Amino acid sequence: MRSFFSRFLHVDWLGLPRQIPRLWRRSLQFRSVVLSVGFAGIAIVAIGSYMSVAVSNDLFHSRLEQVLTQSQRATDSAQRIFDSGVASDRAGLQSLVNSSLVTIRDTSSSSLLAFYRVDPTVNSALAPQNFASPDLSGSIVSNKLRKAVQSGVGSQFWQSITLVGNGTTTPGVVVGSLVAVPSVGDYELYIAYSFAESEKTLAFVTQVLWIAGLGLLILIGAISWFVTRLVVRPIKVAAETSQKLAAGDLSARVPELGEDVLSTLARNFNDMARSMQRQVTSLEELSSMQQRFVADVSHELRTPLTVVRLAGDHLFKKRDQFDDSSRESVEALHGSLDRFSGLLSDLLEISRYDAQTITLDLEPTNVVRLASEVAQSLEPIAAEYGSTIEVVSPGGHGEALVDAGRIRRIIVNLLGNAIEHGEGRRILVEIDSNANAVSLVVDDLGVGLTDEQVARVFDRFYRADASRKRTLGGTGLGLSIALEDARIHNGVLEAWGKPGEGARFRLTLPRKASARWTSAALPLARPEVADA
């Protein structure tokens, strides 16, 4: 209980409106409670409104039936007084009218009376004066009601009115009927009744209904919160467990309690987690075996390869002493040994990355100078293919803390790839920097890449065009190793291309290997350039 009140007092009530959309998106329990309370509120308002109208109609008709009965009894009593009374002059007749009005007040329990002669145009010396209580003066009694009363002998007519008194207004009903005054003729008798008590009763009933509805709504919200908590909490635990599993904690499990559907879900989830753990463990063991196999085979091949390489070099030096056929075989052997040696070195490097045994030899390095040196060393090869290499550095030349050997290898791989696929056109190397990153782009105008090729270009042994012959003797692991070299520096190596328009590879490195960078210094997609 103390914990609940502590959380209640520490709620940021001012910031709550901003948190509601977030709660709606992220909390199943919150959505369930809000929907339950919302629909229940609509139902309570509808039912409460119906009951309020029903009670109002019942009170009105009950009170109307009561006042009609009282009015009829009062009218009958007044008519009996007129029928039994004897008056020979106007004073006597007026006294008879006054007596009947007193009887009407006592019988009807209402002091709001009006007494009008039906046909005032006919002169009569005996006719009593018209009478109306102050609250019934003016147009309270409508002409429509008076016409109905005048034409309906022996009948009662009524209409709803608003009574004004003491600065307040109250609803009421006025009942009209005809009475016959001896020697004079018919008079209209109107008796008004206040419905103030009925209005108070209705207001009280309505207040009780809405208070009860509000209490019921709060109760429904509390019950919904409690019930959804019972249901959502196991689901929340399962979601948190799945997040742990996704993060690599394969030992995470969902508590199994009871025998209901949620418990069955927990058991099935745990069975799935155990099965996944076994499979992942098996795959890890298999991967470890593969890594050890590649590393062991690559290492074991180095000794015989060294022997074969020494013999091949010896034969290659004396190739001029052989006949043409033997000389061609020796040259082919020498080239294959070079390629096999490179492949073995790449396999060993990949196995080191897989085993996570790579360490960096960091030193402040000027990436522009490094790229220029690599470009200069590869210019003769590019010239053989008809390409030229241009190094452009419009921005700052700040140093970056990197492993210069691995960055050099990345640039060599990217430029070698551009030379091989550049179709004899110019190759542009751009280097630029910003506050926390250095970017290097190698841009060629060769065969280009499709979207599918861009997505797979860094895969091991992947060839964008399987039918295209490797002219530079690559192993198929160069871009994969370059990608790993970039990642170990907390950098990114990306590709962009269009078929027939060339390709761009962008390397982005943080100025410090452990630092974070937010944006690259050069765009990945190529701006519009002219063919060199």
> Which of 396, 513, 390, 376 is CA-nearest to residue 441?
390
Task: Give the orientation angle of helix 196-246 with respect to helix 28-84, to 10 degrees.
Answer: 170
d(CA 303, CA 296): 12
Q: What is the pLDDT of residue 441?
A: 92
In a domain, 11, yes or no: no
> Which of 424, 445, 415, 420 is CA-nearest to residue 507?
415
For residues 454 and 483, membership in a common domain is answered with yes
CB 421 within 8 A of CB 503: yes
Q: What is the pLDDT of residue 530?
A: 40
For residues 322 and 385, membership in a common domain is answered with no
CB 457 within 8 A of CB 516: no
Q: What is the pLDDT of residue 495?
A: 92
In a domain, 428, yes or no: yes
Residues in Cβ contact with 318 at an 8 Å cutoff, skipping those fewer than 6 apart: none
Domain boundary pick from 303, 336, 354: 354
Return the number of other C-beta atoms located less than 10 Å from residue 192's C-beta: 25
Q: Between the CA atoms of 416, 417, 421 and 424, what dihedral angle is there, to the nearest 10 degrees?
A: -30
In a domain, 476, yes or no: yes
CB 252 within 8 A of CB 246: no
Distances (CA, A) of 328 to 137, 305, 469: 134, 21, 20
d(CA 507, CA 488): 13
Q: What does the pLDDT profile of the chain (532 residues) look like in tens digits?
A: 455 445 545 556 566 667 777 777 777 778 888 888 889 889 988 988 888 889 888 888 898 898 888 888 888 888 888 777 766 677 777 777 788 888 888 887 888 888 888 776 655 667 777 788 887 777 788 888 888 888 876 688 888 888 887 777 888 898 988 888 877 778 888 888 888 888 888 888 889 988 998 999 899 888 888 888 877 777 777 777 878 777 777 777 877 777 777 777 778 878 888 887 788 777 777 767 766 766 666 666 666 767 676 777 767 777 777 777 777 777 777 777 667 776 666 666 766 766 667 778 888 888 888 999 999 999 988 898 889 999 998 865 667 888 888 889 899 989 988 898 888 889 999 998 888 889 899 999 888 888 888 888 888 777 666 555 555 555 577 788 888 888 888 888 999 999 888 899 999 988 876 667 778 888 888 876 444 4
In a domain, 436, yes or no: yes
For residues 367 and 487, membership in a common domain is answered with yes
For residues 421 and 505, membership in a common domain is answered with yes
For residues 377 and 498, membership in a common domain is answered with yes
For residues 396 and 477, membership in a common domain is answered with yes
For residues 393 and 477, membership in a common domain is answered with yes
In a domain, 491, yes or no: yes
d(CA 502, CA 495): 11
Residues in Cβ contact with 150 at an 8 Å cutoff, skipping those fewer than 6 apart: 118, 178, 186, 188
Alpha helices, DSSP H only, in 157-260?
196-246
Residue with tokens 């002998």: 153
Q: Amino acid letter at 44? A: I
- What does the block give as tokens for 23? 């709660």
What end-to-end distance do the CA atoms of the chain give, in Å? 78
Q: To the nearest 5 percent, what fractions of the chain are helix, strand and coil?
A: 55, 15, 30
d(CA 237, CA 180): 88
For residues 369 and 506, membership in a common domain is answered with yes
Q: How many domains does the chain divide into?
A: 2
Question: What pTM did the predictor assign?
Answer: 0.49
For residues 372 and 299, membership in a common domain is answered with no
For residues 349 and 438, membership in a common domain is answered with no
Q: What is the pLDDT of residue 1?
A: 46
* Burial classification of residue 205, based on how many CB atoms lie within 10 Å of its CB (0-12 exposed, 13-18 middle, 19 or more buried): middle
Q: What is the pLDDT of residue 465?
A: 60
Structural domain boundaries enclosing 323? 262-354
**CATH label of the domain that carries residue 326:** 1.10.287.130
Domain boundary pick from 320, 354, 388: 354
In a domain, 504, yes or no: yes
One DSSP character per residue, 92-143 reads HHHHHHHHHHHHHHHHHT--EEEEEES-TTS--SSPPPPEE-GGG-TTSS-H
In a domain, 439, yes or no: yes
What sign does the dihedral 267-271-276-281 (CA atoms) show?
Answer: positive
Using left for φ > 0, alpha for ψ between -120 and 50, and beta otherwise, residue 461 falls in: left
> Which of 91, 70, 84 is CA-nearest to residue 189?
70
For residues 271 and 380, membership in a common domain is answered with no
For residues 273 and 350, membership in a common domain is answered with yes
